[in-house]
Chain A
């Protein structure tokens, strides 16, 4: 069995790196994995997406029509991938940039204001880690410990000072997903008690 995860949104939202983090963590855990970006001219400031496939055996196609999970960071990606996720799959959506609710009821879904959660942490660039935290909570394909270890090993050295914040972002995304809060309200301010 393999698990396919699509991460999609605008360029600059850290989508490709979040996908690579999953891929590194899968490799470190001894699994087979592929990471493939859509690398069109749209990568410059436009739509960015990548597909990560994690498996116990040799992986065939690195792209699939219907992924097991999707992590969508904006409305166009939400519109595109909500219909495509496999029944019973996982869909994590970024409420900060999405102004409608889920249409499917056969999925495990989380709608979280990832931008605001990241901003509350002090750095909007943590949006991707918040989203990833929510995914890992709902899709136990890799352990948090494994992802955190990988983050420690592969975060570029110039960003090493942000390691603790990255961990915290993962945790807050996971906490939000765990509480089962689903919101359709954009820009909802969320505060956490430390």
Chain B
């Protein structure tokens, strides 16, 4: 198929349709509303279910119900809306039904603003809803990746009976780029052997997240953990740029990773041996690859559009074997490449120490730059 100029939100919506989503439930919220609008147009004309729910709370519970039937189902939202969905996500995790959610993250906390942000990393990657569960989290940096990862999200969710979240941000959602959509998949998947569709000619089935006996819940938690370990073993994905001979490794996901790519290229042009690792799965996190890099590079630089949420995961992987520096912009501000280039130059030309919390020194630099 030919490349088309597509807006991220619409590309993710159409990619979901091509991937065979049979029901969409959502609620309008900037900066993801075009996704819902596209679904409102396309789903009914294909004879598939679309419903604008009364709230994100209702939307995720509609998704929960529809997912119990074994159909491919999804929702999409942005940060405050996703907060409201956390209850439902926990129930979905506990019931072990596959669901795809797209979170087009905006600035927060609270009402915040509608600018691109990565402030939901901890909420999405490290939990959010109550109880012991993990979601698979994919972080696109371009419209094409948003398409490809949305399609992948449905496959992974189904394969592992898990929640798969596409963690985008306002930039990915609002940007237009040439991209290629996949062909339309036929809706001929067999009904899974756990789905409830009516007990016709078989024993009735119950889908629930209740395990009243702690021993049963423990067995469930072990099952979920073992499944997660399989996911960790098989599904880690990342993209590398210029890392072969790198002395400095920049790590950034999504839009921040993309800005870092510009900075790394500019630094390479100056002769600085720097490379970029851009996690595609931020959960499971590419810890093993980062651990490997810790014995190759002189220092790491983590670039995020938050106060250093992924930073903690990088530090855990590096385990003190190399200095980890941090640069972030906050509250919906997207860094320009020159800001990250300055950081790379600083690390390249000045001695590094491993003393102290990198966030403290970063905040000092950021504040002096803001003055």
Contact = CB atoms under 8 A, between A and B. Distances in A.
User: In the complex they form, do A and B come into direct contact, defined as C-beta atoms under 8 angstroms apart?
Assistant: yes
Interface of A: 20, 23-24, 27, 32-37, 39-41, 58-66
Given A20-B5, A36-B171, 13 more contacts: A23-B5, A24-B5, A33-B5, A35-B5, A35-B176, A36-B174, A39-B170, A59-B177, A60-B263, A60-B337, A61-B258, A61-B259, A62-B175
Nearest to B179: A27
Contact of A23 (B31, B171, B176): B176
- Central interface residue in B31, B176, B262, B334, by most chain A CB within 10 Å: B176
Nearest to B260: A60
Interface string B169-185: 01100111110000000
Contact of A64 (B177, B260, B336): B336
Nearest to A31: B178
A142 to B, nearest CB: 14
Interface in B150-171: 170-171
Nearest to A150: B5
Contact of B337 (A32, A36, A61): A61
Contacts of A37: 174
A60 B258 contact: yes
B333 to A, nearest CB: 11
B189 interface: no
Given A23-B5, A64-B336, A32 B178 contact: yes
A60 B170 contact: no
Interface residues of B, number: 25
20 contacts: A20-B176, A23-B176, A24-B5, A27-B3, A27-B178, A33-B5, A35-B176, A36-B174, A37-B174, A39-B31, A40-B114, A59-B177, A60-B259, A60-B262, A60-B337, A61-B258, A61-B337, A62-B258, A65-B336, A65-B338
A37 B34 CA distance: 14
A33 B177 CA distance: 6
Given A24-B5, A27-B178, A40-B115, A62 B171 contact: yes
A34 B3 CA distance: 13
B176 A36 contact: yes
B261 interface: yes
A152 to B, nearest CB: 15
B227 interface: no
Interface string B90-115: 00000000000000000000000111
Contacts of B113: 40
Q: 8 tightest A-B contacts by CB? A: A60-B262, A60-B261, A61-B259, A35-B176, A65-B336, A27-B178, A61-B262, A36-B175
A39 B336 contact: no
Contacts of A35: 5, 175-177
A101 B194 CA distance: 72
B258 A39 contact: no
A35 B177 CA distance: 6
A20 B4 CA distance: 12
B265 interface: yes
Contacts of A27: 3, 5, 178
A34 B259 contact: no
Contacts of B265: 60
A58 B145 CA distance: 13
Contacts of B170: 39
A9 to B, nearest CB: 18
Contacts of A62: 171, 175, 258
A63 B336 contact: yes
B139 to A, nearest CB: 16
Contacts of A59: 177
Interface string B230-273: 00000000000000000000000000001111110100000000
Contacts of B115: 40
A106 to B, nearest CB: 19
A144 to B, nearest CB: 20
Nearest to A60: B262
Given A61-B337, A62-B258, A41 B114 contact: yes
Interface in B9-30: 30
Contacts of B171: 36, 62-63
A58 B143 CA distance: 12
Contacts of B177: 33-35, 59
Contacts of B176: 20, 23, 34-36
B11 to A, nearest CB: 13
Contacts of A41: 114
Contacts of A64: 336-337
